[in-house]
Structure 1
């Protein structure tokens, strides 16, 4: 029986010839990730192990990104805990104010994630690195602690679903629309503890930023991980950003998939997830009523990369954010912030009436930099729209691409970019 791409990576990490779905294995880890919310819990758990030191100071990444710069005393204490731990154990990859970024954009940019890696992170969107052909998944803080101490983790080998992508997406359709379409199709538990494996000739029409977005939201369909084949674009990205060797794994021709879907990218339309689940999707063509918004957020580990900012700037250039709408734009890393500045994107955003924040997860989880009040509506490029996700339990979050979020900021209601062109705004 053949193995999927994910199963081959896990077999290699476990030192086994083959593995099969449902098998319990212990695998070696290439990277263990934590942030300013989850790392303090893991650090305190490590103290219970009474183990002196970490398994490899070069294979742990601690990224201060959720409440950075610190928004209050509690967040400051959390970061102090992690900062002292990083100093005590000489953690190589510790990222704080000035060097920080949103973790799932920062680590690939820093070359810390490459094809063939096995990565765990105490953050559910660790599945992002599957865009580069790595097995990466979110875990709890206790598993993070064990990973930091031993360099190993237990996994139940996941079964897989194959998504065969064909065709070329139209101008305003991005990776965000692809993954929202998929989640709307299979539901938030449609891939529960399964590997979401993306194949097909349509992948060549998806940028790396598109792929990062799609893999990032695999967890929103319940997936254990999302993973893409390693093509020339992925190899070029890794060679540009990393000096680490990588291993390319390919699924066997007779690999077993529990389900298979074929998606023609050319048929997709800009898609919006309505409250309060990512599966509540409608295309912009299917929205018949005016949904007036109070806020638009463009950023996060899902959509804060250069493609996203360029798309938003292309729509906002020469236009103004609708009076009464707050438009918040968050570059995902310092390097992205700098590049956006050099390309003149920040000027476009500010002249349009938006604000630009230092890199942070802040508003995505209702932390800061964009909290919603009762009955307020936000269109956001983030990844979750649960009840109270961005503030008051009476608020509403609509998930969309940067193109739709920027267009909506201009019109003051959920809109597709085509609508701006039609009315000549």
Structure 2
């Protein structure tokens, strides 16, 4: 296992180019399973989770050609369905959360799909009921082998229907959309997630010949078609990385320009950081974050403590709450962080407390951060990354802290951030990868 060795307290300066969006990539990489024609996808991030999915697709029989770094051509002309019941498939697919999204395309095109209980971050309960409830409404029959933790689903013919999700699950929405595009008739899909990445998937499917309307809303109408063709698709920049870099600039008092951010797809992210007192400017499609000696957390109109919480889009993404929490430790003022979606995501705060942060973990979902206003800098410690987002939050904390920090289990960070140590060194960070 590898670790990061970091000497913090250095101001950084320069430009950072954002990688392709991890969460979009895991969706759109499954869409080529819907057609026998070639599909070209660009701006694919070179990260562990995405590369695992590409390897899985190739093992299933998808022909994959790497045109250049970040651009691949996929052709799912011949899929080995028998492989989906092997132990090798269970091992590969079970190591990756995003593997769940192969089920919808397989069900739509081949009438059956299989998946082991998928892996991913240990951030709390992440149920799959939404996915399979949607498939069942489209006419599929579902079976779960509790002993093997193996899901199977099949349908002779999917038929359009009315679907009202009990939760606006992003991966559930993506999976159901990919199943419904080849269903017979019309599917009316209410309380669908409408994140930019879902919008991207819908636009990609429409360019393949699907008929999806209502894109960008939570009410989709999907007219089933008999078959889909090939297309070209480019993945958006990763909004989570953009937020991470804004937080990095604030914590390290650095002047950083974040390039090509697709501002119109960032929603409330810029304004949420502004509520922490962080200055940022839109310059064309870039974000310029000036060096700030201090930043002060806003309050509500009546003067009460600010609360920042996650919510389905267009609310604030849960993947950035860990960054917000870290950034707040060096602000002036206090803020309540309310992580509604996952009950284990705030447990990394114990490491920040060891670094000198003042945080009260109220319960698994809420933490109150008492900003130190830089009066007491964080101190370097040894720590272990528990998941992707907590890992990069601890990395940001270490870069701002006095002295040496070591972060173990950085494979978690590599799952979501491409060449992060190299890119940070290019703007002046003292960080090295060690075994």
TM-score by length of structure 1 reads 0.28
* Bigger fraction of residues in strand: 2
Structure number with greater CO (CA < 8 Å, separation at least 6) is 2
Higher Cα Rg: structure 1 or 2?
2
TM-score by length of structure 2 reads 0.28
